[in-house]
Amino acid sequence: MSLLEVRQLTAGYGPVEVLHGIDLDVEQGEMVVILGANGAGKTTTMRAVSGMIPRSGSVMFDGVDITKTNAEKLVGMGIAHVPQGRGTFPDLTVLDNLRVGAYSRSADISGDIERWFEVFPRLAERRDQRAGSLSGGEQQMLAIARALMSHPKLLLCDEPSLGLAPLITQEVFEVLKKLNNDEGLSVLLVEQNANLALKVAKRVYLLETGSVVASGPAAEIASDDAIRKAYLGA
Amino acid sequence: MWKIHEGSARHWMIRLLGVAVLAFVVVWIPTQMSSSRIGQVTDAFILMIAAMSLNLVLGFTGQISIGHSAFFGVGGYTAAILIKDHGWSPGYTFYVAAVVAFVVGCVVALPALRIRGIYLALVTLAVAVLFPTLVRWKKLAWLTEGSMGIDSVRYEDVPVWPILGELKGREGRAVFMFWLGLIIVIVTYLVCRGIVKSRFGRALVAIRDNETAAAVMGVNLTTTKVLVFGVSAALCALAGVLSTLKSGVITPDGQYVTLLGSIVFLLVMIVGGAGTLWGPIVGGLVYVLLDNTTRDIGTNDSGILGTLFGWADQSPATLILGLVLVIIMFAAPYGLVGLAKRLSRKVVVVIPRPAGTAKPS
Amino acid sequence: MERFFQYLFDGLSLGSIYALLALGLVVVFRGTGHLNFAQGEMAMICTFVVWQFNDWGIPLVVSIILGMIVGFALGAGVEATIIRGVAKKSQAGVFVVSIALFLGLNSLAAMVWGNLPPEQLPGLFPDEPDDFQRIFGAVWRYEYIGVLAVALLLMGLLFLLFAKTKFGLAMRAVASNPESARLAGIPTGIVLASSWGIAGAMGALSGTLWGGIVGELNAGLMFTVFIYASAAATLGGFDSPGGAVVAGLAIGVGEQFLAGYFPGWIGQEMKLSAALLTIFVVLLIKPSGLFGSTKVERV
């Protein structure tokens, strides 16, 4: 049984249907990436999985049907979502951002905070600074750290490279890779930068106008000439 | 569903039918209704004019104003002072009131160049609060007659219109005010329509939708915002003049001179449909209708409503008005005209002319 | 000097009431981005509720606490049932609904308590003619001292709630980024309803304090206070609770000075206008208030 099992997922905004029946799986400890052009429905998929928008079809998480569960509850069940364009709280300090991340838990969190400060030393230096005053890369790291504060089993990460310099992007991806390898954290990633994503991900879904048009192991997709030409721009 | 092409014979038939019905109603009201009913329709006209003027600023340009009651007051006071103290004929006071209000409006618009959103809302609210206090101020009493207000504004030169019977006495005055109101409603509508459909109107909508983009596209924000505020204030002053002429009185506590007036104008505009030409007109009618039907509830102890509200110390009219407003906002969040458009689209669809084939204007 | 201290002290005391109501406006605005026009009327009706409880024989302090609970329930209920539904559809609709609430609550108060003899709300503090202390030559009435103390105490508690509790953290998070707050597992619906509730409870207290000073209750009780409070929220910056408090106190003091030192030109009847004009000028220099952030431009 997969950790996340999505079947025939349809969702959209108001009367407009964006996703037309998507099947998608994420295994325990797996890093999966969703690729696709602008407007293919990548972000919508993420938002539908985490319950931010109304959806139909079936979404199973850890053996539980979560199709009808709303976003606020999913965090407690183990899904953390880092939305596109930095999911930080700009008016709150770095420390408070992390505290908000642990809102769904009642345990002592000071150990966790220290731990993420070790992983992201730059955040530690700025712990009392407003998140809005951080650089783009720092904000992205804060958003990820904030999401991890809830001890998720699955991390949804929506275009972490958006608006970041290549070097910073590298850094963010290395952290994700490390979490995936060392901690066994399952990750579902949406990414525009296909070459980078294919290097870290195990499996790939290719989205086109709201439907999955291809899927398979990252290595296979990366070596498929037709797909490379059509989607990966190389 | 019925599809028709814009500009086709059928489309013109529908338009013609609409105009005919409208014309019938407009003639039927002053000739067949009691003079108090006619007066209520004139009240609706006054609201329509004020709401249309507000619509220009808020509905089309996106600049909030809770200060239009002040422009209304400027108009009303200008007319009262000119007629009573200087013996002017009422007709000319419209022009002077419009000019005075235009200047005041342009001055009030200056902060709008820097201040936006909720802060602008509060600045204009301050204008609405300031106006009645200024009028009441003892240092200005020589002009405004202080908190007593100006009453018995009389004028005798009511013209004789033979087709409509003699315009004499109370009934005659009611009919006269009706026609005068209607004329100003039409003038205001045409001015608004002319502005909205013009190049200037497109600049307004551009400012509403995205100010930065509008500036980049070459819209001069300063002149546009100040001008539209001035024109809006001038139109609103016409409503004020009309109100003074109708009642012969204007006081700082007058119905639409205080902050409450601004609020009513906003309600009328939003309930009718902000950003639509017909919204304020529909809103004005509905508001006056609502106001007059709810006013008597509970005061006479009969019927269901009587038993329901007989215990109350005061009439529940305003409470019911509030409830109806909430219901309207749930059912028609974009106003009654918005709702009507949505519903009528299920019956009739007007297919617009393909681009480029429109007649040159 | 004696006059100076008198105006200063009276101003602080009245200003603390404006600040309380302004804080309610700011809490609501930060949470949902709406200007609650009914804030003053909610406070007014809660003041009548306090009076009613007290009239039934319940001690005044208990009545006030009950009134604040009613205020909380009223605010939270209104947000959850009416505001949220309309806000989903149109922002202009929220404006109309808050006006409708304003009209409805005002009418309701007049319906229920309209024909009673002028309601006397007993002051919370001794207010006999000789209940005062002279400090720096100024008359410090116990009632005014009490109002200032109670208002400052409640504001202090509120700031503790914001800064030190998990719920306060959640409120700040929702104000900063509602979408990410949901993703972090914060029940945003409850937080927003509570913001309105807190505003309602603070309104109840400000109404009762003001009613105690005025001595007579009627449906128009809070109208002027609401104008002062919205002026305070504007001057302080609509997303800054600290700004609302500072501005509320400043407006209270400022109007006393203006009215006191210029009795001929400004005096009692023009002090509100003079205060508003001053704010007008301040806004021209700082368009988003003294302590507000510039991002607040929506209505």
Q: So what's the pLDDT on residue C299?
A: 35
Of A75, A92, A96, the CB nearest to C183: A75
Residue B133 and residue C273: Cβ atoms within 8 Å? Answer: yes
pLDDT digits (tens, 9 = 90+) for C95-145: 889 989 999 999 899 888 876 666 677 777 777 777 787 887 788 888 888
Q: Is B19 a member of any domain?
A: no
Q: Which has the higher per-residue pLDDT, C43 or A111?
A: C43
B215 three-class SS: helix
Q: Give B304's pLDDT tier (boundaries 50, 70, 90).
A: low
Mean pLDDT, chain C, integer: 88
- Short-list B63, B46, B18, CA closest to B242: B46
pLDDT digits (tens, 9 = 90+) for B133-144: 999 888 888 888
Beta-ladder partners of A156:
A81, A188
Q: Which domain holds residue C72?
A: 2-231
Tell which C residues from 99 to 128 touch B, by Cβ distance under 8 Å.
Answer: 99-104, 106-108, 110-116
Rounded to a whole number, what is the distance in Å from the CA of C102 to chain A's nearest CA? 32
Q: So what's the pLDDT on residue B159?
A: 59
Distance from C-alpha of C104 to C-alpha of C102, rounded to nearest angstrom: 6
ipTM of this predicted structure: 0.88
Residue C169 and residue A52: Cβ atoms within 8 Å? Answer: no
Q: Is B255 a member of any domain?
A: yes
Is the pLDDT at B360 greater than 50? The verdict is no
If you average pLDDT over residues B253-264, what whole number do you get?
A: 90
Phi/psi of residue C141, nearest 5 degrees: -70, 140
Query: Helix H segments across B87-164?
Result: 90-112, 117-136, 141-144
Tokens 């038939």 sit on residue: B13
Q: Is C264 a member of any domain?
A: no
Q: Give the CA dihedral B278, B282, B283, B286, nearest 10 degrees.
A: 180
Of B111, B270, B333, the CB nearest to C89: B333
Is the pLDDT at B355 greater than 70? The verdict is no
Is the pLDDT at B361 greater than 50? The verdict is no
pLDDT digits (tens, 9 = 90+) for C276-298: 888 888 888 888 888 887 654 43
If you average pLDDT over residues C242-253, what whole number do you get?
A: 94
Best A43, A100, A148 residue to mutate vs chain C (most C CBs within 10 Å): A100
Phi/psi of residue C130, nearest 5 degrees: -100, 15
If you average pLDDT over residues C19-32, what whole number do you get?
A: 91
Of C90, C97, C297, the CB nearest to B116: C297
Q: Is B27 a member of any domain?
A: no
Q: Which has the higher per-residue pLDDT, B163 or B111?
A: B111
Q: Is B20 a member of any domain?
A: no
Is the pLDDT at B301 greater than 80? The verdict is no
Interface check C298 vs A, CB under 8 A: no
Residue A71 and residue C187: Cβ atoms within 8 Å? Answer: no
Q: Is A25 a member of any domain?
A: yes
Q: What secondary structure does DSSP assign to A74-140, as a single string? A: HHHHTEEEE-SS----TTSBHHHHHHHHTTT--S--HHHHHHHHHH-HHHHHTTTSBGGGS-HHHHH
Q: Which domain holds residue B303?
A: 2-6+32-351
Residue C166 and residue A73: Cβ atoms within 8 Å? Answer: no
Q: Is C8 a member of any domain?
A: yes
Q: Which residues of A127-149 are buried (b: 16+ CB within 10 A; e: fewer)?
A: eeebbbebeebbbbbbbbbbbbb
Is the pLDDT at A126 greater than 70? The verdict is yes
Q: Is A123 a member of any domain?
A: no
pLDDT digits (tens, 9 = 90+) for B93-132: 999 999 999 999 999 888 878 888 888 888 898 899 999 9
Tell which B residues from 145 to 204 touch C, by Cβ distance under 8 Å.
Answer: none
Of C183, C186, C187, the CB nearest to A83: C183
Is the pLDDT at A117 greater than 80? The verdict is yes
Number of domains in chain A: 1
Share of chain C above pLDDT 70, in %: 96
Of C35, C108, C231, the CB nearest to B118: C35
CATH of the domain at B255: 1.10.3470
pLDDT digits (tens, 9 = 90+) for C51-79: 999 989 999 999 999 999 999 999 999 99
Rounded to a whole number, what is the distance in Å from the CA of C268 to chain B's nearest CA? 11
If you average pLDDT over residues A188-209, what whole number do you get?
A: 87
Distance from C-alpha of B357 to C-alpha of B361, rounded to nearest angstrom: 12
Q: Which has the higher per-residue pLDDT, B161 or C129?
A: C129
**B and C interact (at least 3 Cβ pairs within 8 A):** yes
Distance from C-alpha of B72 to C-alpha of A67, rounded to nearest angstrom: 56
Q: Which domain holds residue A37?
A: 4-90+152-232
Q: Which chains reach chain A with 3 or more Cβ–Cβ distances below 8 angstroms?
A: C
Is the pLDDT at B160 greater than 60? The verdict is no
Residue C6's contacts (CB-CB under 8 Å, 6 or more residues apart) are C137, C138, C139, C260
C110 three-class SS: helix
Which stretches of chain A sit within 8 Å of chain C by CB?
50, 52, 71-76, 80-81, 83, 87-92, 96, 99-101, 103-104, 143, 146-147, 150
If you average pLDDT over residues C177-203, what whole number do you get?
A: 93
Of C107, C238, C269, the CB nearest to B322: C107
Is the pLDDT at B171 greater than 80? The verdict is no
CATH of the domain at A179: 3.40.50.300
Residue numbers in C near B133 (CB within 8 A)? 269-270, 272-273
Q: Is A85 a member of any domain?
A: yes
Residue numbers in C near A143 (CB within 8 A)? 180
Best A91, A105, A133, A142 residue to mutate vs chain C (most C CBs within 10 Å): A91
Is the pLDDT at C223 greater than 70? The verdict is yes
Q: Is A141 a member of any domain?
A: no
pLDDT digits (tens, 9 = 90+) for A204-229: 998 888 899 888 888 888 787 777 77
Q: Which helix (H) or strand (E) holds A191?
A: none
Q: Which has the higher per-residue pLDDT, C294 or A90?
A: A90
Residue numbers in B near C113 (CB within 8 A)? 313
Is the pLDDT at B54 greater than 80? The verdict is yes
Interface check C184 vs A, CB under 8 A: yes
- Short-list A205, A209, A142, CA closest to A4: A205
Number of domains in chain B: 1
Q: Is A102 a member of any domain?
A: no
Phi/psi of residue B335, nearest 5 degrees: 85, 170
Q: So what's the pLDDT on residue B307?
A: 65
Query: Between C2-32 and C241-261, two packed helices, what is the crossing angle to 10 degrees?
Result: 150
pLDDT digits (tens, 9 = 90+) for C196-222: 999 999 999 999 999 988 888 888 889
Q: So what's the pLDDT on residue C297?
A: 42
Tell which B residues from 247 to 266 touch C, by Cβ distance under 8 Å.
Answer: 263, 266
